A = this chain, B = another copy of it.
């Protein structure tokens, strides 16, 4: 959904951002990476229960292309790849804060635990 040279000219910053985070699991991936700082592929798969390998890989590729996450591949055996948020990705997560607060307050009931 967001693979950098976006076709459509965006009307405003919000729908540009929506295009970047508009995947079923993207914000969950961002959240997991924000919490753990660095995650391997299999780690993320566990952090985001229910996601399939294909979709996780696809979302990670898009997030990487959009400059949100950084992918570091270590040429070892067995293979190891570490995903981390970029500076831009951390800014994005920060910008997502108020939206998350709104969701907890107005969609969910009270806020059991911060997220």
The answer, yes or no, to whether A69 is at the interface (CB within 8 Å) is no
Q: CB within 8 A of A27: which of B15, B88, B101, B103?
A: B15
- Bound Cα distance A108, B36 (Å): 29
A45 in contact (CB, < 8 A): no
- Residue A81 lies at the interface, judged by CB distance under 8 Å to chain B: no
Asked whether A22 lies within 8 Å of B20 as measured between CB atoms, the reply is: no
Other than the known A13-B107, A16-B103, what 14 A-B pairs have Cβ atoms closer than 8 Å?
A10-B107, A10-B108, A11-B31, A11-B115, A12-B115, A13-B100, A17-B100, A67-B106, A92-B102, A95-B99, A95-B101, A96-B99, A97-B98, A98-B99
14 A-B residue pairs with CB within 8 Å: A12-B100, A12-B115, A13-B100, A13-B104, A14-B27, A15-B27, A16-B103, A17-B99, A17-B102, A66-B107, A67-B106, A91-B102, A95-B99, A96-B98
